[in-house]
Structure 1
């Protein structure tokens, strides 16, 4: 079967890659030719063979976005529950006391993953790194979606346990942690062997504070012996930061540096509370230099933390320090463009300057920053020879009008509403705003009942026996009927 070549003719705008300058640039009235083999041509007047042509007069062609941190497992079920709550004694974070109560049953796992995948690709994502517990359809759904997928089965030796609403404890089970680790190793090899060629596995000790130093070192050594990426949640909350200080007297980067874990194959999830952060007790500024010197990447996911009133300080500062930063969505709404907008706003607020980060720098983080974190030079950019992972933006959408700078319009205003089509390996995964290979609408219908089941279990599992009306109160008082 011959490879079908598609050409976007005279695209109004193209976000192309300048190899010599190593940066994205704008082209106007340019052609983009692509196929399963990759990007064939970017520039004026493509003269080669074309099997299909796409009129580009009202189109911006851009590289697909690279999401290096998300969770499919339970997150879609938490929507609308805990946005207004948090544990005051844990700096207002909702993770330990509230979010940990929501658990999707097996019937809901596939629906949660389908919704996440659909939302990601409809916001321009072509590559994602999903950290979750393996479920029966996890691998097959990722493959069938058409996305480029890095699947990271998490494992840990300790579970979080809340004592009332004032103290975080840890319940250790080393044997069970080792079992989960062995299962993760088996799964990642299965993922890498998938015939699609778009799937890979990632070694993921779940959180730095829920794994022993020995397991972290062993898992990282194993990943490196297999040539695989590693991801660890680290410096993600003040509760974790203080726990590491209690155990070791070190910040997360300092501890990982001592263990020999930092390196260009490591992605740290969130990495907010470093020694320069205004909330921490340290008065040193060594952690950013540690990360930059080692080549360690950071997955920045601002939305879920901003909901709890906290933010990384600041994305612009990390980039200026030489730290490679990519963007992730972490939890709902799984909208990469909204995540990027929040990242820009939070960076300017925490950096106290409009000049802390600009749109071009943000777009680079969401594309080549993520690609670098994954060790890829063939995604996150539009240049001949790269993978044909791209998105077509509808410039005629009202939210994109009027146009002076289309990326600013997309990120600051239009978001996913203007993403018309998305391609991975030259094949459409979104066409006319709809996911091609997923039953997205069916999965959405399943979530309502699945959330009700999860909420009933949350009431039973809550250590304090609180009803849902206390755990997740309505935003407004509910009128009495009659």
Structure 2
């Protein structure tokens, strides 16, 4: 079926970058865009009037924990001071070496489905799903990825260690490198068995859960597998200050230095976060050229500023990374998987850190959320509205009180728009949201499932938390209950 979207302001791709086409016409047939321009006189089975709308490519999230974030909902404004500004270390470690984390009480099916539905509502059409549910059974994630209609990069994650809280509440690692190697081989089999499924909407990759919970031999094997399979290699990297200093103490060099020396950088490497590097004020380390190494290797950073800002820190100098040739992409990381919010928070944080209104531009963040994500996955057919690209299209209402007069549509999008303005989301030529209504989900049922999943975490909290305390004692609400 050939569909024509006409009359709106189109952010089209031409001559290597985005261009404003106003008014413009986008035509797609099946899963591909067949025409982009000021007009189209050919046949069309369906015509969509986009007057007063902004038409953009679907967002690409290169790092997202696709679930309802039962743990993240507990720790905004709160959390332990001894976990180096981290949020997740408040709720992901096991309760004792043989226990399970508090979030293990969640319902994986309801939680993951909530995350995918939220992605669609917020205009994300491609996502790197960084683990959710059971690491031992990837079938659920695979089935729900198919159900969602989104383009998903996924494989079960691997780790050489598990964090746990001992009886005194101290954070400790429990190491088991052999299990990590076995998980890597299982991930490779997953890639071989699933890469290209669901009309090529599902692709595999190699996922090491956390740099600080991996050994150098495990990371070497992970990168080798990714290279051999022709897929991406991703890991949480330098999200916490202590992992930077632990590497310096153990090796005498920075984590980026170590990755470079071991051949673990490259254009197929997606480093989630990559905040604490040489030159960051908190590391107090000026002896390495980390940004030069990241740029020279064409490595990718997935920037998700909202989660960091909630914990009181941020990547220092988004434009510095770009200036050194680092491929910058955007992740939606944790709730609410809102790429508009991530771009706005990142832009403002960059301006504040740089004390410079000319950095952290709306264009650089929009590029990261679209073209940067495409580069991260080695693709030139997503993150853009161009002939031959995948029909991943988002349409927003741009004629309303929230937006008002428009001079520059990208600056208006980044600094004024909110997810409720997103009306239509198309992925791979399939409409996943139309007139603000999800087409393949019963939204009220999805919300209800997410609430039930969270209620299970709350109900089982005293039995799973290392302290045995109630959830109100560990994570008190902003105001006391009546």
State TM-score, norm by structure 1: 0.93
Distance (Å, rounded) in 2 between the aligned partners of 1:217 and 1:179: 14
Residue 438 of structure 2: aligned partner: 435
After TM superposition, the structure 1 = structure 2 runs for residues 291-330 of structure 1, keeping only pairs within 5 Å, are 291-330=294-333
Give the conservation status (yes or no) of the 8 Å contact 1:96–1:162: no
- Quick one: which of 237, 240, 256 aligns to 1:253? 256
Distance (Å, rounded) in 1 between the aligned partners of 2:31 and 2:207: 31
Confirm whether residue 9 of structure 1 aligns to residue 6 of structure 2.
Answer: yes
- Quick one: which of 461, 479, 482 aligns to 1:476? 479
Q: Deviations over 1:34-78 (max 9, x none)?
A: 1224111111220111110011211211111110000125x5222
State TM-score, norm by structure 2: 0.93
Q: Deviations over 1:141-186 (max 9, x none)?
A: 1122111110132110101134688854211122332332233223
1:85 Cα deviation (Å)?
1.6
- Quick one: which of 26, 31, 37 aligns to 1:43? 37
Residue 83 of structure 1: aligned partner: 76
Distance (Å, rounded) in 2 between the aligned partners of 1:253 and 1:244: 10
Give the conservation status (yes or no) of the 8 Å contact 2:169–2:466: no
Give the conservation status (yes or no) of the 8 Å contact 2:107–2:453: yes
Distance (Å, rounded) in 2 between the aligned partners of 1:233 and 1:227: 20
SS of residue paired to 1:103: helix
Q: RMSD of the alignment, in Å?
A: 1.9
The structure-2 alpha-carbon separation of the partners of 1:136 and 1:385, relative to structure 1 and needing over 3 Å to count, comes to closer
SS of residue paired to 1:303: helix
Distance (Å, rounded) in 2 between the aligned partners of 1:175 and 1:141: 30
Runs of at least 5 residues in structure 2 that lack an aligned partner in the other structure: 94-100
Distance (Å, rounded) in 2 between the aligned partners of 1:181 and 1:456: 34
Aligned residues: 471
Q: Deviations over 1:298-337 (max 9, x none)?
A: 0001111111101000212111221111000111111111
The structure-2 alpha-carbon separation of the partners of 1:462 and 1:250, relative to structure 1 and needing over 3 Å to count, comes to farther
Give the conservation status (yes or no) of the 8 Å contact 1:114–1:439: no
Distance (Å, rounded) in 2 between the aligned partners of 1:391 and 1:165: 50
Q: Deviations over 1:203-223 (max 9, x none)?
A: 011111111111110111011
Residue 123 of structure 1: aligned partner: 122
Distance (Å, rounded) in 2 between the aligned partners of 1:394 and 1:383: 21
Distance (Å, rounded) in 1 between the aligned partners of 2:26 and 2:176: 54
Distance (Å, rounded) in 1 between the aligned partners of 2:194 and 2:349: 35
After TM superposition, the structure 1 = structure 2 runs for residues 256-295 of structure 1, keeping only pairs within 5 Å, are 256-295=259-298
1:92 Cα deviation (Å)?
3.1
Give the conservation status (yes or no) of the 8 Å contact 2:291–2:321: yes
